[in-house]
Structure formats: C-alpha cells, structure tokens
C-alpha cells in the first residue's frame, strides 16, 4: 500500500514536470503543442543510451537529456514559428510521429521496438537509488519538481511571462508593442522541451528501461488533459490536474478492478475531459490568475526610476 502511494507520488512528480513545461508552451504562450511525449521520449532515450552504452552518471545524463530535448525544441520551434494554432498542432503532432518512427527504426542505437533495459540506478548523496526503495526516488523527483516549479514561476511573473501572455492574447498586437515574438516563442518551446527531457530522464531512470511505444500520441494528450483540467496558464492548477488524473487512472489498480476495465476507458475519459472542459469551463477547474496590471505598471515605473 505504502509502495503504491509512493508510486503514485513518483508519477505525479514526473508528469508534473512535463506538465509545467507544456503549460508554459500551451497555457502561457498559447502555442498548441502535441509533441510533449516526443520530448519526453528524447530525454528518456538520451538518459538510457548515455547511462548504458557510455556509462555516464545519472545527473550528467539527466542534464544532457534536458539539453538534447531543448535542442530539438529549438529545431521544431524554428520552422513552426510561422505557424498559427492549428498548423502548429499538426506540425508538432507530425514531429512526435517522426520521433517515434525514428526510435522504432534506428535499431543500432535505440534497440528498436524492444527498447533499452538495465539502466543502472543513480548513486548520489551516499544513497543508491533502486527500484525496491521508492522513498529516495520520490524525494529526488519532487525536489526537481520544486526547482522547475520555482523556475517557471520566476519566468512567468517577470517581463518574459507578460510577453508570453501578450503573445497568447494577440500576437500582432504583441509584436506591435515591440515584443520579439519569434524569440519568446522559441524560448517557450525550448524551456518546455527541456523540462520534458528532464521528466523523460527521470522516467527512464526510475523504470530502469525505456520502450518506444510508451511515448505515443496518447501520452501527449494525457499531459495536455492534465493542464487543461487544472487550468491552462496556471502552474499550480496544472499540478492539481496532474494529481487528479494520475490518481484517477491508478485507482482501478488499487481497488483491484483494473483487469476488468479496458484501457480504452481511460482514454475516452481524457477525450470527454477535453470536450466538456472546453464547452463548460475552458479556464479549468482552478482557473487562471489574473494579472494585477496596476501593480505591474507601478513596479515597472519604480524600476525605471532607479
């Protein structure tokens, strides 16, 4: 039972890291990205390959995973800069499929559809992380989540965050106000991808294995659902969304009825969440924090006077 709760806590942590990253892209900047799973896959495979084939330590591999995912974030970000909402969604979806196809077909590096097994548990702070003892994992993952949360919170409460929100509300108006929309859009994409890469790295190291089919389109949709359910454009709400969806999808296993519930039911529920939330409560169950513009302007003036 305790193990089960720890498992849920660990998964909440991993998905929350990826979810906050996605929220920065979709919620704050208004770019619909459907390839968060691809960035997670890139992170997971980077960790898997560097830890098994090249014997890197976990923390180096994790940072590297984030960076590789971020580089791919830039790569997909640049051509998609010209794209508005719907086109971007399709292009990112396509990117996700391409990543999955390449992973499945690039046997010599990724071991194809079988995936990579036997990723060693990290060793740090005098503790060996293993599959048996989940407590260190939970602490580590939530510590990283806290870092990411704080980092994104700093971003979105700064000039950068306001620029992102301006782009979301009206890109033309934003660029007329002198915001370099290309820079901020790529920035948001890259940061979101970096966090997905970190999440993927943790995912691979915790499970000690990766398989390409884990990171399919449905995983991107699930993370999107988490952000939508909590409330787009609000990090706290995204974490709440993650908690609700992870717990809800693990409850059948806890009660012991998972074998009679077909896996499709979960996904039908994700679909229903998207449709119903959009129609009845597009701001999510928690909603979005309204910016206090009077306060911001006062701060900016103080800043200028200094």
What Cα–Cα distance (Å) separates residue 203 from each residue in 12, 260, 288? 11, 27, 29
Q: How far is the CB of 188 from another protein (least distance, A)?
A: 15
Q: Taking contact as CB under 8 A, which single stretch among the options 44-52, 60-68, 100-108, 144-152 is the one that binds another protein? A: 100-108
Instruction: Tell me which of 90, 135, 243, 289 binds another protein, using CB under 8 A.
Output: 90
Q: Note whether 267 binds another protein by CB under 8 A.
A: yes
Which helix (H) or strand (E) is 68 found in, with range? helix 58-77
User: Where on the phi/psi map is residue 84: left (φ > 0), alpha (ψ -120 to 50), or beta?
Assistant: beta
Q: Where are the beta strands (DSSP E) in the chain?
A: 116-117, 123-124, 127-128, 209-210
Helix 85-105 and helix 58-77: axis angle, to 10°?
130
Closest CA to 153 of 11, 37, 246, 23: 23
User: Is the C-alpha dihedral spanning 151, 136, 249, 69 positive or negative?
Assistant: positive
Instruction: Tell me which of 94, 159, 180, 291 binds another protein, using CB under 8 A.
Output: 94
Q: Note whether 177 binds another protein by CB under 8 A.
A: no
Instruction: Tell me which of 278, 291, 296, 301 binds another protein, using CB under 8 A.
Output: 278
* Residue nearer to another protein on the CB measure, 105 or 292: 105
Cβ–Cβ < 8 Å for 98, 227 = no
Closest CA to 9 of 262, 180, 246: 246
The 134-173 contact track toward another protein, x by CB under 8 A, reads --------------------------------------xx
Instruction: Tell me which of 60, 85, 292, 301 binds another protein, using CB under 8 A.
Output: 85
Q: How far is the CB of 281 from another protein (least distance, A)?
A: 11
Q: Note whether 57 binds another protein by CB under 8 A.
A: no
Q: Note whether 224 binds another protein by CB under 8 A.
A: yes
Instruction: Tell me which of 5, 6, 71, 93 binds another protein, using CB under 8 A.
Output: 93
Structure tokens at 149: 């949360």
Cβ–Cβ < 8 Å for 199, 14 = yes
Q: Note whether 72 binds another protein by CB under 8 A.
A: no
Q: Taking contact as CB under 8 A, which single stretch among the options 58-66, 95-103, 180-188, 197-205 is the one that binds another protein? A: 95-103
Instruction: Give the CA dihedral 227, 12, 40, 189, nearest 10 degrees.
Output: 40
Q: Taking contact as CB under 8 A, which single stretch among the options 101-109, 156-164, 185-193, 248-256 is the one that binds another protein? A: 101-109
Tell me the helix, strand and coil percentages in the chain, rounded to 5: 75, 5, 20
Q: Which residue ranges make up the site for another protein (CB under 8 A)?
A: 26, 30, 32, 34, 79-80, 82-87, 89-91, 93-95, 97-98, 101-102, 104-105, 172-173, 217-218, 221, 224, 228, 232, 262, 264-265, 267-268, 270-275, 277-279, 282
């Amino acid at each position: 039972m305790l193990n089960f709760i720890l498992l849920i806590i660990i998964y909440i942590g991993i998905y929350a890291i990826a979810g906050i990253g996605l929220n920065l892209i979709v919620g704050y900047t208004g770019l619909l990205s459907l390839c968060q799973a691809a960035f997670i896959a890139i992170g997971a495979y980077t960790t898997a390959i560097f830890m098994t084939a090249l014997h890197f330590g976990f923390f180096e591999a994790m940072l590297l995973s984030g960076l590789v995912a971020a580089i791919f974030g830039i790569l997909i970000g640049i051509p998609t800069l010209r794209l508005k909402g719907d086109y971007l969604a399709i292009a990112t979806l396509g990117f996700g499929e391409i990543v999955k196809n390449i992973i499945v077909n690039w046997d010599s590096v990724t071991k194809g559809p079988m995936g990579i097994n036997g990723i060693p548990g990290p060793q740090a702070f005098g503790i060996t992380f293993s599959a048996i003892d989940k407590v260190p994992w939970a602490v580590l993952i939530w510590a990283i989540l806290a870092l990411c949360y704080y980092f994104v919170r700093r971003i979105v409460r700064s000039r950068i965050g306001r620029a992102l929100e301006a782009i979301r509300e009206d890109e033309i108006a934003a660029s007329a106000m002198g915001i370099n929309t290309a820079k901020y859009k790529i920035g948001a994409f890259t940061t979101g991808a970096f966090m997905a890469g970190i999440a993927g790295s943790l995912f691979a190291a915790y499970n000690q294995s990766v398989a390409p089919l884990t990171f399919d389109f449905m995983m991107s949709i699930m993370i999107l659902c988490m952000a939508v359910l909590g409330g787009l454009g609000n990090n706290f709400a995204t974490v709440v969304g993650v908690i609700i969806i992870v717990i809800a999808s693990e409850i059948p296993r806890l009660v012991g009825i998972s074998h009679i519930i077909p896996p499709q039911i979960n996904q039908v529920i994700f679909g229903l969440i998207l449709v119903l939330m959009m129609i009845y409560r597009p701001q999510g169950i928690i909603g979005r924090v309204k910016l206090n513009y009077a306060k911001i302007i006062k701060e900016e003036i103080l800043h200028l006077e200094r």
